[in-house]
Structure 1
Amino acid sequence: MSTSRGARQPTIKEVASRAGVSPMTVSRTLAGGVNVRPDLQERVMAAVRELGYYRNENARSLRPGQPSGLIGVAITNLANPYYGNFALGVEEVAAEHGRRIILGNTGEDAGRERQLVSDFIGRQVDGLILVPTSGDAEHLQPERLGDVPLVLASRRVPGLDVDTVLLDDVGGAYRGTLSLLDAGHTRIGFLGNRSSVFTGERRYRGYERAMTERGAPIDPSIIARDQQDVDAASRAARAMLDHPEPPTAIFSANNRNTIGALREIGRRLRDGVPGPRPALVSFDDFELSELMPVPVTVIDHDARLLGREAATLLFARLEGTAEAEATTVELPVTIEHP
């Protein structure tokens, strides 16, 4: 069933009928599931997905057809200052068009992303900007979003043809790794997030391409690709540096991995742990990078510009000035040496 605002929306009674429960059970499930058995919650949520039902959170305050003036923005890690700057870029463009943003955090969890998108549509947002997780795209298909335009930032989603803003992930990682090779390093470790994450896979490809071109060995025992936060990155760096043949340099695929590596290097310096202090290349700048215990080369880009570009594409859709076909913009990155 279409979820376009111009079409009739499914009702709670229809969801209840599909799930074989009472309308009260549907309401309680959608309100958090208190006092509702798990099997009934599963039946209700299956019916919600099948019917394309969204709660209209603004029904009391909006007249039919009236824009909400809101842009939904979903990011993956609210604790990362990078995404704060990204959201500021979106907000600047939204303000220029007389709109406000509402911000949500998915934590790289596909289920949370689906719920967050559902909540945004229920609040009748005028448009969506999403840094997607690596989950499926069923809830992001046009027939599920109706006439709400969607722009993806930083990552693509397979099977989804929408406006997208990317970074030069492969080229940046390639050039960053080359800078380590040019400095004489051949044993270079890799710290990154899981390979199913779009940017993690692209940045690993850039690292791999540079290593292969120069004939440098790629040793799986000094490659760690499953860290989503600083603590996990610190543990991975410790294992890497405790290796019988530790790397002399590390390529880090994002700033959370870089901070984790620096935390471990700092610990080893404080505790007098013997061994090399590896050179670091970080994809993404990070707070106080110039004050770190070892020099860090940064593959830099402007997160605020990324947000502005995503918002610019969205408002082109909203105002009817965009090309009919989906547009992809790839922003350049720069190499900043210490």
Structure 2
Amino acid sequence: MVGVGSQGKPPTVKEVARHAGVSPMTVSRTLAGGANVRPDLQERVLAAVHELGYRRNENARILRPGQASGLIGVAITNLGNPYYGNFALGVEEVAAETGRRIVLGNTGGDPARERQLVADFLGRQVEGLVLVPAGGPSDHLQPGRLGDVPLVLASRRIYGLDVDVVLLDDVGGAYRGTLALLDAGHTRIGYLGYVSSAFTGARRYEGYVRALEERGLHPDPALVFREQEDAAGGAIRRLLDLDEPPTAIFSANNRNSIDALREIGRRLRSGATPQEMPALVSFDDFELAELMPVPVTIVDHDPRQLGREAARLLLSRLGADARQRGPARMVEMPVRVAPAVPSA
């Protein structure tokens, strides 16, 4: 299996050397920069490293045998989003209670960057991993690739990966947020989501559709934008420029909400009236939401608490043999709708 050495363990320098047909010293020198190693031998070593999935142990020089690193690897998708900053603080808070520290990395939602980041974390001998998945292939997250390092997924699930996961009530929150708009008399409700292939995006869209169909309505394709996550400006402009624009919008995350409010504010400064602008429901809170130019209803939850729960799941796995850790667990955390929806 790629990434697994003899007896199911991660590959060693000796196994890389044997695979490349060189000495272990040549492997070490190549990985240290290639000084005094012929280019053709370097190419063979690097090809073997890639084929076997070898990763360097960055802590080997500073850790005594049997000594734990005290590190938890935390990978998020968008370090620029305050939501994920608060999530990481929650993980850190619980880890610190046991004397551990976190190592934080940003994937940018790129599966290739996630793969490299996980490899880097494992090279640092982290005791466990907390990951907001970027999506895409998950072979690098399979137990055979992680060894005995436990993994907890947060916010998003990966089907076929049997690990602990902590989620939000995405479907229920989107359903209740959309229902609040319907109860206020809105029937033309736009949707600002993000990539339909994303686990969370699909769940929140499901809640939006469920609320509409419960009232005998169906999503209008002209009102639904699902392929953006952090750049909703173009989508909101197209919604508001329709001959019959929506009277309300459900936004599936806070970055889309901020872009929508930025465009609404621009139009208000250009002479539009608040009554001409749509009501807005945002899944996820954001700073100064209460000061926005139109009322904003928030599908609210605490990202720091989400991080705490992920860390607790992870810590409960540490110190136990991988074969004795028991079945994977899923925790779904509640959300609440803070009403501020004006009538249509």
Structure 2 length-normalised TM: 0.88
- Specify the code of the residue in structure 2 equivalent to 1:237: I
Count of matched residue positions in the alignment of Structure 1 and Structure 2: 328
Counterpart position of 1:146: 147
Counterpart position of 1:211: 212
How far residue 25 of structure 1 moved from its aligned partner, in angstroms, is 9.5
How far residue 23 of structure 1 moved from its aligned partner, in angstroms, is 4.3
Partners in 2 of 1:272 and 1:225 — Cα distance?
29
How far residue 12 of structure 1 moved from its aligned partner, in angstroms, is 7.8
Aligned CA distance change for structure 1 residues 301 and 46 (closer, same or farther; 3 Å): farther
Question: 1:95 and 2:99 equivalent?
Answer: no
Give runs of ≥4 in structure 1 deviating > 6 Å: 3-6, 43-46
How far residue 164 of structure 1 moved from its aligned partner, in angstroms, is 0.5
Aligned CA distance change for structure 1 residues 55 and 68 (closer, same or farther; 3 Å): same
> 1:86–1:305: 8 Å Cα contact kept in structure 2?
yes
- Specify the code of the residue in structure 2 equivalent to 1:260: D
Aligned CA distance change for structure 1 residues 272 and 83 (closer, same or farther; 3 Å): same
How far residue 49 of structure 1 moved from its aligned partner, in angstroms, is 4.7
Among 9, 12, 29, the alignment partner of 2:11 is: 9
Between 1:91-100 and 1:219-228, the stretch displaced more is 219-228
Superposed CA deviations along residues 35-83 of structure 1, whole A, max 9, x for unmatched, are x99xx98x87764353131111112111232111100000000011111
> 1:10–1:52: 8 Å Cα contact kept in structure 2?
no
Partners in 1 of 2:46 and 2:281 — Cα distance?
45
Aligned CA distance change for structure 1 residues 79 and 44 (closer, same or farther; 3 Å): farther
Partners in 2 of 1:70 and 1:258 — Cα distance?
35
Aligned CA distance change for structure 1 residues 90 and 323 (closer, same or farther; 3 Å): same
Partners in 2 of 1:25 and 1:158 — Cα distance?
40
Question: 1:261 and 2:260 equivalent?
Answer: yes
Aligned CA distance change for structure 1 residues 46 and 278 (closer, same or farther; 3 Å): farther
Partners in 2 of 1:320 and 1:240 — Cα distance?
53
Larger radius of gyration, structure 1 or 2? 2
Structure 1 length-normalised TM: 0.89
Find the residue that maps to 2:313 and give its secondary structure: helix
Aligned CA distance change for structure 1 residues 133 and 293 (closer, same or farther; 3 Å): same
> 1:12–1:27: 8 Å Cα contact kept in structure 2?
no
Report 1:95-134 matches (<5 A).
95-134=96-135
Aligned CA distance change for structure 1 residues 227 and 104 (closer, same or farther; 3 Å): same
Partners in 2 of 1:4 and 1:69 — Cα distance?
27
Find the residue that maps to 1:57 and give its secondary structure: coil
Partners in 2 of 1:144 and 1:81 — Cα distance?
31
What is the percentage of aligned positions where both structures have the same residue?
Answer: 66
- Specify the code of the residue in structure 1 equivalent to 2:262: R
Aligned CA distance change for structure 1 residues 160 and 71 (closer, same or farther; 3 Å): same
Find the residue that maps to 1:152 and give its secondary structure: strand
Gaps of 5+ in 2: none
How far residue 19 of structure 1 moved from its aligned partner, in angstroms, is 10
Counterpart position of 1:326: 328
Aligned CA distance change for structure 1 residues 4 and 158 (closer, same or farther; 3 Å): farther
Counterpart position of 2:307: 307
Superposed CA deviations along residues 288-338 of structure 1, whole A, max 9, x for unmatched, are 000000000000001111000000000000043996001100000000013
- Specify the code of the residue in structure 1 equivalent to 2:258: I
Partners in 2 of 1:121 and 1:5 — Cα distance?
19
